[in-house]
Amino acid sequence: MKFKFIHLVQQYIQNLYQTFNRKCYKRFVLIYFRKKVRCFNRCLQCSNQKSIIKLSDVTFGSYTFVTVCGCDNNLENKLLEMGFIPGTELIIINNNGLGGSIIIKIMGTRIAINYNVAKKILVK
């Protein structure tokens, strides 16, 4: 019995540690190495091979909209009417990171976007 209990506790701690680790990683990158992330993004801009990333992972710079994935018809229509058409240029003005909203500039106006929506938008 005792052994089993200890085993369970150990597993639980390990689980906690893993999730903590995963969250922490993101936080570390965004908070303490924010500058590095910026540099990384700049590098992406400079290089000819532009890779496709989620809008939520981007912190700085101008990108082109590629497509949306995994959203319902309503949201897709809404994005279309706001001007999210493949090939449109969008500039990230403010990305709070950490699950907050994101401000971008598209078609000459600034738009605030939920983190949940930003996860579904792919840019390059």
Partner 1 sequence: MKKHLNHPIITAALLGNPNVGKSTIFNILTGAKQYVGNYPGVTVDKTIGIRCYKNYDIHFVDLPGIYSLSSCSEDAKITSRFLLYDNVDIIINVMDASNLERNFYLFTQIIELNKNIIIILNMLDILKSQHKTININKMSALLGTYVFPVIATNRIKNKDNINIILDYILDIYKKNSRDKKYVMPVQVDYGEDIIGEIGKVSQLLIQSNISNKISKNWLMINLLENNPSAIKLINLSNNKIEILKQIERSRNHIIEHFNTKIEVEIANRRYGFARAIVKMIVNKKKIKTIDYNEIIDNYVLNRYLCIPIFLCIMYIIFKFTFFFSTPVVNLFVVFFKFVSFKISTAIASSILKSFIIDGIIGGLGGVLSFFPILLFMFFAIAFFEDLGYMARASFIMDKLLSRFGLTGKSFLPLMIATNGCAGPGIIATRILESKRERILTMLIVPFMICGAKFPVCMFVIRVIFAHKYQSIVMFLLYIFSILIALTVSKILSSMISQEHSSHFIMELPPYHLPKFRGLLLKMWERSWIYIRKAWTIVIFTSIFVWSMSTLTYHNKNVLDIPKKILNPLFTPIGLDGNKAISLLTGIIAKEIVISTLNLTNCKDNIYLHDNTNREWDPLQGITFLIFFLTYIPCITSILIFCKEVGKKKYKWLIGILFGNTILAWSLSFIVFNIGTVLSRYIYIGK
Instruction: By CB under 8 A, name the one of 54, 80, 89, 122 that touches partner 1.
Output: 80
Stretch that binds partner 1, among 6-14, 19-27, 38-46, 76-84 (CB under 8 A): 76-84
89 contacts partner 1 (rule: CB under 8 A): no
Q: Is 87 helix (H, G, I), strand (E, B) or coil?
A: coil
Cβ density class 6-22: b for 16+ within 10 Å, e for less = eeeeeeeeeeeeeeeee
93 contacts partner 1 (rule: CB under 8 A): yes
Per-position x/- string for 18-47, each x denoting binding to partner 1 as judged by CB under 8 A, each - no binding:
------------------------------
CA distance 66 to 68: 7
Cβ–Cβ under 8 Å, residues 26 and 59: no
60 contacts partner 1 (rule: CB under 8 A): no
48 contacts partner 1 (rule: CB under 8 A): no
Residues contacting residue 101 through CB under 8 Å, at least 6 positions apart:
112, 113, 114, 115
The residues binding partner 1 (CB under 8 A) are 71-83, 85-86, 88, 93-94, 96-101, 103, 107-117
